[in-house]
Amino acid sequence: MLRLRANAVAKFKSHIAGGELRATITAATSARKYSTESPLPESADVVIIGGGSAGCNTLYQLAKRGVRAVLLEKSKLTAGTTWHTAGLVWRLRPNDVEIRLLAATRDLLMSLEEETGHNSGWINNGGLFISHSPERLDEYSRLATLGKCFGIESHIVGPEQAQKLFPPLDPTSFTGALYSPGDGVVDPAMMCTALTKGATANGGLVVEDCTVSQIITGENLLGMKDVRGVLTNKGTIRTNTVVNATGVWGRDLIEPLGVFLPLIPMKHAYVVSETMDTIHQMLPNVRDHDFSLYFRIQGKSICMGGYENNPIMLNRVPGDFHFGLYDLDYSVFDTHIQGAVKLCPAFGSAGIKSTICGPESFTPDHKPLMGPDPTVSGLFHSVGYNSAGMMLGGGCAEQLAQWIIHDRPDRHMFAYDVRRFTPKQKKALNWATERSHEAYTKNYSIVFPHDEPLAGRNFTVDPFHKQMIQYGAVMEERHGWERPGYFLPDETVVVQPYDWYGYYDHPKNANTHYEEALKGDYTFGFSEHHDLV
């Protein structure tokens, strides 16, 4: 089995504390013309709070369009969660909007070096999606078909062909794969440096070590709050537009304004193997959805992480948690190790060189929170990227820039629009925690058209709810409301309280009648209940 170095975690944290890794990540910041000494302007068209992927991408897109934009970072660029991200960039998603957002990010990464003279850290090594069942391979076929509509090359391959692409794989452990040669990986620090270089060349400004303590608001003629400026440790900037790009701290600065977001921080981790003779940088990254894990190639090592059923959820992340990491809890992470060894036996004997466990922000539907806030005019959000900020960041920032300048994006962004959640949902932290947990655990699950959540149910019901259930209603949830999807004659199907998949000292529900009824909808064809609708 896996050979672990007893001092792996201690060595890695010592490596960071000693400044070696931190110096690598922030080396460019000391040489750039913006720094802690950058003068704070009296006013700006847009102030962006947060210097991670979302903030740097937004600054770049606004500056390219002639907007006087200022990015304020309380520490150094990437210091929050961006610096430790795996940096995977995939091309295929189950809908057209996300495919186009990914394409916009990829196109930007490939063009940044020519524009700025700075390498964006983009490596086009391809991606391999592993399948263990006919249903999963069917899903991959659907992804490939949709991708073809947008000119994305991909191929369904057998286990032996997949092993030729990634030799350490055990071809007897899976049934097939989807190969996407245009996928890749990006270095977060290099990307953010290239973005800010491009932004400053077009008039954008970055100020580091600048903590925003307050978003200053007034009241407009309609009696609605509107943005007037920001108060920082270096002074005040007058502005009518603020972008909240503060990542895991996305709730903290805005709650004093009476603004709430369904944003839940969680610990998210991956491990880095010792060097392996069979690994080199141009091997494709691997995603095994059925084992809920991924491999990211880093030189001659494998970075392995995934989405477990029992992530460690956080209430808040300390404001000074800069370039910080947590100790890895192997009792939580072990499920990924077991799956990785089955898929790639060589990983089990390689040993672990270091561990990365940091905070990431997650949302109830595993999609970002973007766009204008409905309660404060001039406040925009770009948070909650669910560990996909690197691949979605460029495309989302392009749409956000259009949103800010023209009051609407180019794409149909409703699935990402922060206004998709009701005020009641945004304030209900328990509801958001339940739903975000389920969305996290189901991130690699097959996406069926009629999927229904089990978490956060019975949040809002109408006066006839109990009577409809007595008459056999099978409830579905939309925007927090329970509504009947169809009726099963002579049956009573009750949605049970969320059992957290049996974790966190919650026993699994004994009554699974509702879950059994839902299985009839888990198909890409007609539901077995379609004749009842």
HEC-encoded secondary structure of 412-440: CCCCCEHHHCCHHHHHCHHHHHHHHHHHH
Is residue 151 situated within a structural domain? no
CA distance 55 to 199: 11
Instruction: Write down how long the chain is.
Output: 533
Beta-sheet pairing, 376-377 with 225-232: parallel
Whole-number pLDDT of residue 22: 39
Domain presence at residue 369: no
The span from the CA of 286 to the CA of 127, in Å, is 6
Q: Is the residue at 464 inside a domain? A: yes
Q: What is the pLDDT of residue 35?
A: 53
The set of residues, in sequence order, having a beta carbon less than 8 Å from that of 389 and lying 6+ positions away, is 52, 53, 54, 81, 82, 85, 368
Task: For residue 373, give the 3-state DSSP assignment.
Answer: coil
Q: Could you tell me if 328 and 13 are in contact, meaning their C-beta atoms sit under 8 angstroms apart? A: no
Q: How many helices (H) and strands (E) does the chain have?
A: 14, 23
Residue 499's domain comprises 449-532
* Spatial distance between the Cα atoms of 262 and 364, rounded to a whole number of angstroms: 7
Distances in whole angstroms, Cα of residue 5 to Cα of each of 21, 202, 294: 20, 48, 21
Do 179 and 126 form a contact (C-beta atoms < 8 A)?
A: yes
Within 8 A by CB and 6+ apart from 496, the residues are 454, 509, 511, 512, 514
pLDDT per residue rounded down to tens, the chain (533 residues): 333 333 433 443 344 333 344 334 444 443 455 555 678 999 999 999 999 999 999 999 999 999 999 999 999 999 999 999 999 999 999 999 999 999 999 999 999 999 999 999 999 999 999 999 999 999 999 999 999 999 999 999 999 999 999 999 999 999 999 999 999 999 999 999 999 999 999 999 999 999 999 999 999 999 999 999 999 999 999 999 999 999 999 999 999 999 999 999 999 999 999 999 999 999 999 999 999 999 999 999 999 999 999 999 999 999 999 999 999 999 999 999 999 999 999 999 999 999 999 999 999 999 999 999 999 999 999 999 999 999 999 999 999 999 999 999 999 999 999 999 999 999 999 999 999 999 999 999 998 888 999 999 999 999 999 999 999 999 999 999 999 999 998 899 999 999 999 999 999 999 999 999 999 999 988 888 887 76
Report yes or no on 483 lying in a domain: yes
CA distance 465 to 126: 50
Q: Which residues lie across from 366 on neighbouring strands?
A: none
Q: What is the pTM of this model?
A: 0.93
Report the number of distinct structural domains present in the chain: 1
Q: What is the pLDDT of residue 18?
A: 39
Q: For residue 473, what pLDDT is reported?
A: 96
Phi then psi for 184, rounded to 5 degrees? -175, -160
Q: Tell me if 228 is assigned to some domain.
A: no
Residue-level pLDDT at 533: 64
**Residue 76 located in a structural domain:** no
Which secondary structure element, helix H or strand E, spans residue 214, and what is its range? strand 212-219
Which strand (E) or helix (H) includes residue 176? strand 176-180
Q: Is residue 107 one of the residues assigned to a domain?
A: no
Kind of pairing, strands 69-72 and 46-49?
parallel
Q: What is the spatial distance between Cα 174 and Cα 170, in angstroms, rounded to a whole number?
A: 8
Q: Is residue 491 part of a domain?
A: yes
For CA atoms 398, 403, 404, 406, the dihedral sign is positive
